[in-house]
Amino acid sequence: MDRQQTVKSSLMQELQACWRGMPYRWIFVLLLAAWGLFFQMLGNSTFGYVDTPSLFGWMYNAYNAPGSDDGHGNLIPIVVLVLMGWKRHELMSVPKGVWGPALGLLGLATACHLVGYLIQQPRISILAFFLGIYGLMGLCWGKAWLRATFFPFVLFLFCIPIGSLAESLTFPLRMLVTTISVGISQHGLGIDVIREGSRLMSPDQRFVYDVAPACSGIRSLISLLALTTIYGFVVFRTPWKRLLMVAIALPLAVAGNVARITSVIIAAEAFGQEIGAKVHDGAGFITFLLAIGCVAALGVWLREKPAVGPKEDSVA
3 state DSSP class of 195:
strand
pLDDT at residue 276, rounded to an integer? 79
Q: Give per-residue pLDDT as tens, 265-277.
A: 888 888 888 887 7
Q: Give per-residue pLDDT as tens, 17-44.
A: 888 889 999 999 999 999 999 999 999 9
The residue that leads in pLDDT, 270 or 159, is: 159
Give 315's pLDDT tier (boundaries 50, 70, 90). very low
- How far is residue 155's CA from residue 233's CA, in Å, rounded to a whole number? 10
The residue that leads in pLDDT, 8 or 221, is: 221
- In the predicted structure, residue 61 carries a pLDDT above the cut 50: yes
- The mean pLDDT of the chain is 84
Any idea what DSSP says for residue 194? Answer: E
Q: Give per-residue pLDDT as tens, 69-109.
A: 788 889 999 989 988 888 888 888 999 999 999 999 999 99
Q: Where do the domains of the chain lie?
A: 2-161, 166-301
- Asked if residues 248 and 295 have their Cβ atoms less than 8 Å apart, the reply is yes
pLDDT at residue 310, rounded to an integer? 44
Q: What average pLDDT score do residues 220-246 get? A: 85
DSSP for 204-272, written as a single string: T-S-EEE--GGGSSHHHHHHHHHHHHHHHHHH--SHHHHHHHHHTHHHHHHHHHHHHHHHHHHHHHHH-
- How far is residue 157's CA from residue 225's CA, in Å, rounded to a whole number? 11
